[in-house]
């Protein structure tokens, strides 16, 4: 009877362990500078080998341990693995904070929003305008792409005027048409007729 209980206990332990990766190699995380307590927090999340490498990439980008765990947890909340270390690195390079990045991740838009978010910085928009545009995207409201915003800005529209158009529901197609019209008017303004000087009569 005693041996039966031992076998049953061993079976239960093995069954419980199947939910995790008992042979997972966490050493790359330790070598990347992640704390042992953080690694223990990651174990119940059942991370894969690929996710370990993603987390190593995050540590190389100087992402904090807490944010690493939060990013994996956010991915789990949306039923997919974490595979977004590259977008995170790009956003950090464009001066977005880890808090900003977590907001994108919790909305499950980290991959889809990162390109436009980086471009909005490169366009040279103010922080308040960038936040206003991204908040609309995160809330599922219509907004203009960074390319359309950049073209409108290049035609001389102010950020306030661009936001007015965005809040009014302007589409990328409408933005392109307005930008083309403004460019045509601007170019025409620099083509005033100049009389060619001929030779003076003798």
Rg for the chain (alpha carbons), in Å?
27
Predicted TM-score (pTM) of the model is 0.79
pLDDT for 6 equals: 40
Helix 85-93, helix 110-123: angle, nearest 10? 20
Q: Going along the chain, which residue ranges are E strands?
A: none
pLDDT for 22 equals: 62
Mean pLDDT by groups of 10 residues along the chain of 202 residues? 43 43 86 97 96 98 98 98 98 97 97 96 96 95 96 96 97 97 84 53 54
Round to whole Å and give the CA distance between 26 and 114: 28
The DSSP output letter for 44 is: G
Buried b (16+ CB within 10 A) or exposed e, 150-159: bbbbeeebeb
């Amino acid at each position: 009877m005693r041996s039966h209980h031992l076998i049953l206990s061993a079976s239960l332990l093995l069954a419980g362990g199947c939910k995790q990766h008992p042979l997972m190699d966490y050493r790359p995380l330790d070598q990347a500078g992640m704390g042992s307590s953080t690694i223990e927090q990651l174990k119940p999340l059942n991370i894969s080998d690929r996710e370990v490498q993603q987390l190593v990439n995050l540590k190389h980008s100087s992402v904090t341990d807490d944010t690493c765990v939060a990013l994996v947890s956010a991915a789990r909340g949306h039923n997919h693995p974490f595979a977004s270390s590259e977008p995170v690195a790009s956003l950090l390079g464009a001066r977005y904070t880890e808090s900003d990045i977590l907001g994108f991740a919790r909305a499950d838009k980290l991959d889809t929003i990162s390109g436009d978010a980086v471009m909005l910085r490169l366009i040279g928009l103010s922080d308040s305008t960038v936040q206003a545009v991204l908040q609309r995207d995160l809330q599922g409201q219509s907004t203009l792409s960074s390319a359309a915003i950049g073209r409108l800005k290049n035609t001389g529209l102010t950020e306030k005027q661009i936001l007015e158009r965005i809040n009014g529901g302007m589409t990328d197609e409408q933005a392109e048409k307005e930008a083309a019209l403004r460019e045509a008017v601007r170019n025409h303004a620099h083509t005033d007729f100049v009389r060619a000087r001929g030779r003076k009569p003798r």
